[in-house]
Amino acid sequence: MYENMIVIDRDAPESLQKQIRRQLAIGIVNRQYPVHRPLPSIRQLSTELSVSVTTVALAYEALKQDGFVQARDRSGFYVNPDALTDPGHTLKRDALGDVAVPGSGIDYRRFFSGRSFNLERVVKPSDCLVRYRYPFVCGLIDPSFFPITSWRECVRDSVNVVEVANWATDYSAIDDEMLIEQLIQRVLAKRGIVAHPDEVLVTVGGQQAIYLAVKLLLSAGDTIGVEDPGYPDVINMARIEGIDVLRLPVDREGLVISGDMGHCQCLFVTPSHQFPTTVTMPLDRKRELLEFTKKSGQFVIEDDYEADISFNMTPPPALKSLDRWGNVIYAGGLSKSLLQGLRMGYLVADREFIREARALRHHMLRHPPVNNQRCVALFLQRGYFDRYVAMLTKIYKQRCDVMHESLERHFPGASEKPEYGGAIVWLRLPEEADAGLLRELVEPEGVFFETGGFTFADERNNRNHLRLGYSVIDKSFIPEGIGRIANALPKALVRR
Amino acid sequence: MYENMIVIDRDAPESLQKQIRRQLAIGIVNRQYPVHRPLPSIRQLSTELSVSVTTVALAYEALKQDGFVQARDRSGFYVNPDALTDPGHTLKRDALGDVAVPGSGIDYRRFFSGRSFNLERVVKPSDCLVRYRYPFVCGLIDPSFFPITSWRECVRDSVNVVEVANWATDYSAIDDEMLIEQLIQRVLAKRGIVAHPDEVLVTVGGQQAIYLAVKLLLSAGDTIGVEDPGYPDVINMARIEGIDVLRLPVDREGLVISGDMGHCQCLFVTPSHQFPTTVTMPLDRKRELLEFTKKSGQFVIEDDYEADISFNMTPPPALKSLDRWGNVIYAGGLSKSLLQGLRMGYLVADREFIREARALRHHMLRHPPVNNQRCVALFLQRGYFDRYVAMLTKIYKQRCDVMHESLERHFPGASEKPEYGGAIVWLRLPEEADAGLLRELVEPEGVFFETGGFTFADERNNRNHLRLGYSVIDKSFIPEGIGRIANALPKALVRR
């Protein structure tokens, strides 16, 4: 019965006693042996494994010493419950002594050298809501606004006999029909986009939508145009895929249309709400961009970042909504409002393009979880999403006003109110300022913000930029937070 | 107010009247105009858009003719509710008349030529549970066995104020701690694998675990060794990434260890339960495989397919559990039991490897949905998963016995009982048989199965193989289903 759990290798350098001891210890820690029943007896193991009784007895004695087993009179050895507290615990693992740590023999660093995917990226502090009094963190949502009751209702109604029966479908080939319908009616329509169901693909967040588009449109050696400053993750994606990046200048109206763009097979743009400057591209320039790319036969990936949080009744339409030729691939997601943790994204493009994207998605992960698709569909259909977004928008708009006021007081002219909406302000400090240094200075005072230099090709000469998110900071804390940043600024000026 | 919703382009070939008409129609279909309030008046639009009153009046008249608007005396034009029935509907879309279909100008087929990702893959018929009386379909689970009540309890307990507060964390950098702990204790331990929390990465299904491993371990021009017959999706992944594939022979003990393996940078193997033959590699050969790959400095991706459904009290241990050097990258998932729709997978490897995989995962999609992570964690922790898998295993074992009996009666010696477990039998018909033809013959009789030829490098000469799944067919229907296949066989023999 235990022959498969304990495997004896007579050619191994390790002694038989240690082999048994080690494997029993692993089994115990992994709860493979019931706690209330005796472990295999010495005689039993000795017979099954064809080793001497002494060998097994010595192994058990060592396990007793190490605290893995307890001896009980007449009934043999039992698992020591203390050994089970936390199998993942480092101390426990170290107590296993002889267990070779997998990987100890391989220099992964050497193996991966030159093509590490562990590229610089923004990781938000996991405890920022409790750690900072003034968390100007970007891209997180205040969980206390989330309509838990409505969401639970949708969860409940999406997990029943009828719905679960649908899960036994191969969702590689089709997405949840109700979700697609709701995305078209309630989400894409607001961006001025008309789409057929077969022109929409559900993705694991907006990030996957972008990744699929990049991978479909470009091969190694091709060039993608990315705004400067722009979204660092797309530059990392390009690097991962061996795609060259050409940085394209941005002014107060977003991406500057220039002949340089012609050197790219594809452009990655954030026209309605530029990342990270938040400026909105005027309609004329959007048309000019479409005209240019159509003439040069280029594709455009439009990342409609933070699109659901718009301060205007009629937000500036998405580039995709003006696309009559079909060269705009639209990537979006509900993650900036519907809690980023759910990872609900979508790709909108010509059906033939979507067919390819679906095939690529299949090979990468088959499909996004189907239970969440139906739950979000209900959340949209019942109007909970619209109501929730309306509430968030109202709160953000108030906070944005306070932000603007505070920033104008302390840093006049250094920032612009985000025209589109969203929950982030872009701040340009005097050139001598170092935002990284500034952050270190204000961190002990409970202030957190994101530096902006890493969004530029020339990070070194743009250390004076920073991003201030206001999605998780209460409006009453904003003036003091901005004040603390302003107070610390003089100490964060460095000579260039 | 409407200037952003209706955009006039005076240089466009399209008349002003048609531009207004088209954009109003899109807005109406997309519900951008409230149903119970009048649409913008002719005079209002004329002023805001700086076009003549006649132009707007003609546009409205055409919209009335097309059924988009209704005229009401004295209060102007209103949305016609009939136009709103289904915005995604083809007829409605066609009714928009002048709307250029995006993509109509681009020959995507030409654009993608030579690197289409739309590779041949198995897509299960979406209605197989209702369409076939004898659905020998593979990889689906009978939803009627799913413990909905327990699952709903876990959903309820994972969506509350405290839990939702955790969602506002950046889950790119960490996975749900409880899920990792449960995977280590309840899932990996059963496979003999000891892992630290930082040696496990949560993925969107087992497929993503495999994809991440392939992408991390191999570059374009490298060679991956894949069993023959073997898993077609991994061959497609390699093709997508420009990786060469060397097919490696399989015998009744799984992958044959041969010098040819040395030509590969990496091997993809299914040792415990070979895909598709279901044979289990004996312990000695597993050791031999580890010895060979260690000597040649190769990595091995172990796909522990269907691992949770094992017919043995102590299933044969995973290759990873025997790995003392760290060159085995383990990919698994709960999708074969916990309903495939949830897409819960994991990758187990050295922590340095996991760090890279996490970075790559971030760029591809940031992280798997966090709500499902916690819900599955609770489902595991409360023992519901173990209980559910035990029930499934019992049912599958009974069905497997009936399968084996029926197959031995009609096709003696042509199949082997899956030693490990799972829910699929591999059947080798006489060489002259064509499984594709056979399937066509039995389909009208309500029988569905998967052909097996596509899992071979030489598909043409292996058309006599097929896969019979028994996860969704009731045991009482099995004999008749197998009987119908046997009856049709004589008509499916072709001369080679």
The residue of chain A nearest to residue B195, with distances taken between CA atoms, is A88
The residue of chain B nearest to residue A23, with distances taken between CA atoms, is B192
Rounded CA separation A125/A469 (Å): 14
The residue of chain A nearest to residue B126, with distances taken between CA atoms, is A169
Per-residue model confidence (pLDDT) at position B412: 96
Cβ proximity of A182 and A377 under 8 Å: yes
Residues forming a β-bridge with B202: B346
CA distance A119 to chain B (A): 7
Task: Check B472 against A366: CB less than 8 A apart.
Answer: no
Work out the average pLDDT over A78-103. 50
Per-residue model confidence (pLDDT) at position A218: 92
Size of interface A-B (CB pairs under 8 A): 375
CA distance A410 to chain B (A): 30
**Which range is least confidently modeled, A107-111, A449-453, B65-69, B388-392?**
A107-111
Cβ proximity of B148 and B339 under 8 Å: no
Rounded CA separation B305/B424 (Å): 11
Q: Write out pLDDT tens, residues B21-36.
A: 878 877 776 667 877 7
CA distance A399 to chain B (A): 19
pLDDT band of B338, cuts 50, 70, 90: low
pLDDT band of A62, cuts 50, 70, 90: confident
Residue type, B408: E
CB nearest A170 (choices: B124, B195, B356): B124
Per-residue model confidence (pLDDT) at position B112: 55
Task: Check A4 against B173: CB less than 8 A apart.
Answer: no
Q: How far apart are the first and last CA of chain B?
A: 73
- Output A101 or B15, whichever has higher pLDDT: B15
Tokens for B255, please give them: 């992958």
How far does CA A126 lie from the centroid of its chain? 12
Residues 6 or more apart whose CB falls under 8 angstroms from that of B393 comprise: B309, B310, B311, B421
Q: Write out pLDDT tens, residues A282-327.
A: 999 999 999 999 998 899 999 998 888 889 877 889 999 999 888 9
CB nearest A26 (choices: B121, B194, B219): B194
Cβ proximity of B470 and B311 under 8 Å: no
- Output B106 or A479, whichever has higher pLDDT: A479
CB nearest A343 (choices: B99, B186, B369): B369
Could you give the percent of chain A with pLDDT greater than 90?
57
Whole-Å CA distances, B486 to B131, B153, B423, B480: 21, 45, 20, 10
Q: Write out pLDDT tens, residues A78-90.
A: 888 776 654 333 3
Could you give the percent of chain B with pLDDT greater than 70?
89
Is 80 exceeded by the pLDDT of residue A22?
no
Rounded CA separation B62/A282 (Å): 30
**Which range is least confidently modeled, A29-43, B45-59, B287-301, B315-329?**
A29-43
CA distance A439 to chain B (A): 20
Per-residue model confidence (pLDDT) at position B102: 42
Substitution target in A365, A370, A392 with the highest count of B β-carbons within 10 Å is: A365
Residues 6 or more apart whose CB falls under 8 angstroms from that of B173 comprise: A123, A126, B358, B362
Task: Check A2 against B314: CB less than 8 A apart.
Answer: yes
Task: Check B189 against A30: CB less than 8 A apart.
Answer: yes
Per-residue model confidence (pLDDT) at position A173: 84
Cβ proximity of A262 and A248 under 8 Å: no
Is 70 exceeded by the pLDDT of residue A337?
no
Q: Write out pLDDT tens, residues B160-196.
A: 877 777 776 778 888 999 999 999 988 998 899 989 9
Q: Write out pLDDT tens, residues B293-312.
A: 999 889 999 999 888 888 98
Task: Check A359 against B99: CB less than 8 A apart.
Answer: no
- Chain B CB contacts of A236 under 8 Å are 363
Task: Check A102 against B219: CB less than 8 A apart.
Answer: no
Omega of the bond leading into B229 within 30 degrees of 0 (cis): yes
CA distance A293 to chain B (A): 13
Buried b / exposed e over B368-398, threshold 16 CB at 10 Å, is bbbbbbbbbbbbbbeebbeebbeebbebbee
Task: Check B194 against A312: CB less than 8 A apart.
Answer: no
Task: Check B31 against A144: CB less than 8 A apart.
Answer: no
Task: Check A101 against B326: CB less than 8 A apart.
Answer: yes
pLDDT band of A222, cuts 50, 70, 90: very high
pLDDT band of B2, cuts 50, 70, 90: low
Residue corresponding to tokens 């020339």: A458
Per-residue model confidence (pLDDT) at position A84: 65
Residues 6 or more apart whose CB falls under 8 angstroms from that of A421 comprise: A273, A306, A309, A310, A311, A312, A315, A393, A396, A397, A400
Task: Check B121 against A359: CB less than 8 A apart.
Answer: yes
Cβ proximity of A322 and B85 under 8 Å: no
Cβ count near A337 (within 10 Å): 24
Is 70 exceeded by the pLDDT of residue B106?
no
Is 70 exceeded by the pLDDT of residue A181?
yes
Tokens for B391, please give them: 């029930």
SS3 category, B269: strand
Residue type, B240: I
- Chain A CB contacts of B207 under 8 Å are 363-366
Rounded CA separation A11/B290 (Å): 14
Please state the φ and ψ torsions of residue A5, each to the nearest 5 degrees: -85, -30
Average pLDDT, chain B: 87
Substitution target in B129, B144, B343 with the highest count of A β-carbons within 10 Å is: B343
| Highest mean predicted confidence (pLDDT) among A7-11, A15-19, B185-189, B257-261 | B257-261
The residue of chain A nearest to residue B90, with distances taken between CA atoms, is A196
Task: Check B103 against A161: CB less than 8 A apart.
Answer: no
Work out the average pLDDT over A415-433. 94
Work out the average pLDDT over B253-263. 95
Per-residue model confidence (pLDDT) at position B339: 66
- Listing DSSP states for A73-85 in one string gives TTTEEEE-GGGGS
Substitution target in A280, A296, A371 with the highest count of B β-carbons within 10 Å is: A371
Work out the average pLDDT over A462-485. 96
Rounded CA separation B389/B33 (Å): 52
Omega of the bond leading into A229 within 30 degrees of 0 (cis): yes
Tokens for B348, please give them: 């187990």
Residue type, B32: Q
- Chain B CB contacts of A318 under 8 Å are none
Quote the ipTM score: 0.82
Rounded CA separation B213/A364 (Å): 11
- Output A28 or B483, whichever has higher pLDDT: B483
Work out the average pLDDT over A414-431. 94
Cβ proximity of A71 and A77 under 8 Å: yes
Cβ count near A323 (within 10 Å): 25
Task: Check A103 against B353: CB less than 8 A apart.
Answer: yes
Could you give the percent of chain A with pLDDT greater than 70?
89
The residue of chain A nearest to residue B371, with distances taken between CA atoms, is A342
- Chain B CB contacts of A218 under 8 Å are none
Task: Check A341 against B169: CB less than 8 A apart.
Answer: yes
Residues 6 or more apart whose CB falls under 8 angstroms from that of A437 comprise: A491, A492, A494
CA distance A400 to chain B (A): 20
CA distance B5 to chain A (A): 7
The residue of chain A nearest to residue B220, with distances taken between CA atoms, is A220
SS3 category, B90: helix
Per-residue model confidence (pLDDT) at position A110: 53
